[in-house]
Structure 1
Amino acid sequence: MKKRLIQVFGFLISTLGWTFVLCTMAMDYWRITQLGGQGGSFIIKVAWYWSNLWKDCFTDSTAVTNCRDFPVLWSVTYVQGVRGLLMCGLTLGFFAAVLCFLGMECTYIGGADKTKDKMLLSGAAFHFAGGEYRTQGVFVSV
């Protein structure tokens, strides 16, 4: 019973982490830069420049946002590396979740106990490798 509880809890935590990384792929505001608003003038004009993995945007002091998608992705230095590492990590994490689900003791799919243990071990290895890819993807963007 204790082994099943640990497996289910580990599966839920790792799948939740994978879901959070998947959500960050679509998030805005990966890089934010404030332009203007300095110098002590009475008219304060502040603009924000921000970008994510898919587009660059500019928001002025009237809250009007102008965005443009990256026209040529290989000209942006950090984007290709970050995208590639995050996508590889997410793919490995997906296969890890499937292998761990099939390899858990409480599922009746996957065969004998020895086969299920091998699937669970390979799923754990895929989770570690996918986590490493995702971590390196974040470090490339900084």
Structure 2
Amino acid sequence: MSGMFQEIMAFVLATSGWVLESSTLSTDYWKVSSNDGSVITTSTFWANLWKQCVTDSTGISNCRDFQSMLALDGYLQACRGLMIASICSGLFGSVFALVGMKCTKVGGSDRNKARIACFAGVNFILSGVCSLSACSLYAHRITTEFFDPMFMSQKYELGAALFIGWAGAILCILGGSIFCFSLTDSFSRTGQTKSVNERPAADNSNSSRMQHFDKNVYV
């Protein structure tokens, strides 16, 4: 029962992280304009992976979508690809986790279900690593421009989407690791049951040898 509860906890953690990662992709505030050194701020600039916007003091926003994918900066293209890969890996991980968990009635034997659960854990870990890499790459670009004294354009600070993506990545990695550890527990239990089942056969063979030896002694 402890293994079943362990897998349920891993599934809740990993799927929660995948939901956070999915919401990060469409969240607006990946970076927000910095107010450092500004006395009066009449507008706020912010951007995500798909558009760049400005919001004035009345709350009206004007946005401009990135028209060309090939004309984007390399880090934006990399972040888009990593986030999409993260969401796809998390989706596959959720499906395989439902099949491989012990509380479900699909997937075959316990050994096959353990392998499927481990494969789900690998997908969740890959999803977390992709999301972590994308958010870290985007944050590295923001901090590099912010602390560069030669950069004279608009400087930005870290947006809320980055923190949501980091949180989702950590949850996915934790849940996937628990799924992978459940594989070793299942295999160890399977090995113990096999060894217990093989012992009576070995005892019977030893007894037959003793009986054969006793017959030869009296001949």
> Would you say same fold, with TM above 0.5?
yes
Residue 100 of structure 1 corresponds to: 97
Residue 18 of structure 1 corresponds to: 18
For these two proteins, the number of residue pairs brought into alignment is: 138
For the residues of structure 2 that align with 1:10 and 1:45, how far apart are their CA atoms?
A: 45
Following superposition, the deviation at residue 36 of structure 1 comes to: 9.8
Secondary structure (helix, strand or coil) at the match of 2:26 reads coil
For the residues of structure 1 that align with 2:105 and 2:95, how far apart are their CA atoms?
A: 14
**2:21 and 2:86 in contact (8 A); partners too:** no
Q: 1:50 to 1:113 in 2, by over 3 A?
A: same
Q: Cα RMSD over matched residues?
A: 1.8
Secondary structure (helix, strand or coil) at the match of 1:25 reads helix
Identity of aligned residues (%): 31
**2:82 and 2:134 in contact (8 A); partners too:** yes
Secondary structure (helix, strand or coil) at the match of 2:78 reads helix
- Normalised by the length of structure 2, the TM-score is 0.59
Residue 48 of structure 2 corresponds to: 52
Are 2:124 and 1:127 aligned? yes
In structure 2, the gaps of 5 or more residues are 140-219
Answer 1 or 2: which has greater strand percent: 1
In structure 1, the gaps of 5 or more residues are none
Mark the structure with the bigger radius of gyration. 2
Secondary structure (helix, strand or coil) at the match of 1:74 reads coil
Following superposition, the deviation at residue 61 of structure 1 comes to: 2.4
Aligned pairs for 1:43-122 (under 5 A) are: 44-77=40-73, 78-122=75-119
For the residues of structure 2 that align with 1:109 and 1:36, how far apart are their CA atoms?
A: 57
Residue 27 of structure 1 corresponds to: 27
